[in-house]
Amino acid sequence: MPEDDFGEARIVEGNEIHSKSLLDTISESKGTHSRTSFEEFTDERTLVSYDAFGNKQMKIKVLEVSDENPPSKWKFGDRVKVSKILVTIKHLTSQEIEEGEFDIEAIERELAEKRHYTSTNRWVPANDIKNGYVVGSRHTTLISDASALDYIIF
Q: What residues make up the domain containing 50?
A: 20-148
Is residue 50 domain-resident? yes
Tally of domains in the chain: 1
Give the rounded percent of residues in the chain with a pLDDT score beyond 70: 67
CA-CA distance, 18 to 78, in Å (whole number)?
11
In a domain, 153, yes or no: no
Q: What average pLDDT does this structure show over 131-136?
A: 90
Is 154 domain-assigned? no
103 is a domain residue: yes
Enter the pTM of the model. 0.69
* Cβ atoms of 142 and 98 closer than 8 Å: no
Per DSSP, 148 falls in state H
